[in-house]
Chain A
Amino acid sequence: MFRKFDEKESVSTVTQLKSSVQKNIRNQIIDTYPTFEPYFTEIWPKKEPARLAKTHEKVEVLVVDHEPIFFKCRDSQWLPNIRLLHKYPFLLPIQQVDEGAIKFILSGADIMCPGLTSKGAFLDMETEKGAGVQVHCEGKELAIAVGTMAMTPKEIKDVNKGVGIAVNHCLNDGLWHWKHVK
């Protein structure tokens, strides 16, 4: 989603949000991540105005205090920026991929099923199709990507072909380098 993202070209507008919309977004995020609430009010205090950056492909990025913290595409749930996810790793369910997949993910590939079913990988069977997940790697501590389940875990196991998790945001992509929003 952010592979071809460039701050200058992709961001069309950054607008200050109306307080009613802010409330709405705040509630949506807290609904999705109920246990995040106390920390969330820390990084986004009630009075702090938030901004919304509209970028390419209808991706919207929530900006608080010059930092992009959450993003969403069309009607998807709000997904955390990886920097945020590293700080609060409990936000999303984990899927583990094997070591061989790392370099492909870093160059922007989606997660293919074999990378989730092989020996070094581990699949969380509880997640549903369309749910946001964080992708961890065999032998590494930190999340490498944030994605959306493109199949159910059962399908991934049975079919074992094609895209299993659509990667929305990964390390070293456009959003990762977009640290400061003017």
Chain B
Amino acid sequence: MSDVESDEGPPPHPALYELPDIPFDEMSPLQKRWHKIKAIPEFPVKVVYLGDCEMPLEYVEYLSEDMRKQAFEQAATEDIDIGGLELKESGGKKKSQSRGGRGAVKAKKKAEPQKVKVGRVSRGKKKAVTHVTGLHSYELDLKKTAKIFGSKFACGTSSNEKNDEIVIQGDFIDEVIDLILDKFGDKIPENMIVDIGDMKKAG
């Protein structure tokens, strides 16, 4: 590798593969691929990913049916040209892969929206901590959410990823519900938040 860098002219193309000087049509598939890569003027290349699986368009057809549907819906809403690909309904004649074991790419399970439970656990006679559980299924970062709670109520908070729980020092049940609705009201509907009042001390 030479360390000489010239200020003039474009830098050499980063692809190291050497192409023979023959017309494109005579190249082997591999050389064609490199030819295309070498023709890319600028990096990074932008790639469009579709659906929950985030698959590139050309591989969408290998997804399971519901994932495929979802990907095409996204393509439709974002006005992406799907270039001749069609959503094939697998009705009537079933293909050999209908078992769904090998081959078909299975959909990843998405967490069902759980109820957000807010409860109080007493600590001694006049002190209490507030537990908030179930926020994880709304794709909130528990750590950050705990921080928001703490700075709002000026108290200590802790988050527990494993138990999907945030503990707030002090009794803030009503305030927490208001705050959740205020901050994350677009994600969490009001009827999904339940006040379960006094809880038993967790083991």
> A residues near B, CB below 8 A?
8, 34-36, 38-39, 83, 86-90, 93-94, 96, 102-104, 106-107, 122, 124, 136, 138, 140-142, 144, 171-172, 176-177, 179, 182
Is the Cβ of A36 less than 8 Å from the Cβ of B14? yes
Report the nearest A residue to B15, measured CB to CB. A90
Is the Cβ of B43 less than 8 Å from the Cβ of A88? yes
Is the Cβ of B103 less than 8 Å from the Cβ of A39? no
Within the complex, what minimum Cβ distance (angstroms) separates A78 from chain B? 17
Binds A, one of B27-35, B127-135, B173-181, B189-197: B27-35
Within the complex, what minimum Cβ distance (angstroms) separates B136 from chain A? 10
Contacts of B97 in A (CB 8 A): 103
Contacts of A124 in B (CB 8 A): 30
> B residues near A, CB below 8 A?
1, 11-17, 28-30, 33-34, 36-37, 40, 43-47, 53-56, 58-59, 62-63, 97, 102-105, 108, 141, 143, 161
Is the Cβ of B59 less than 8 Å from the Cβ of A87? no
A-B contact count (CB 8 A): 87
Contacts of A122 in B (CB 8 A): 28-30
Closest 6 CB pairs between A and B?
A87-B44, A35-B14, A90-B15, A103-B103, A122-B29, A86-B47
Contacts of A182 in B (CB 8 A): 141, 143
Complex Cα spacing A37 to B192, Å: 50
Is the Cβ of B11 less than 8 Å from the Cβ of A38? yes
Contacts of A177 in B (CB 8 A): 54, 108
Contacts of A89 in B (CB 8 A): 37, 40, 45
Most buried by A among B11, B43, B102: B43
Is the Cβ of B43 less than 8 Å from the Cβ of A39? yes
Contacts of A179 in B (CB 8 A): 54
* A to B CB contacts below 8 Å, 21 in the list: A35-B13, A35-B15, A39-B14, A83-B47, A88-B14, A88-B43, A88-B44, A90-B16, A90-B17, A94-B30, A94-B34, A96-B30, A103-B62, A106-B62, A138-B29, A140-B58, A142-B47, A144-B59, A171-B56, A179-B54, A182-B141
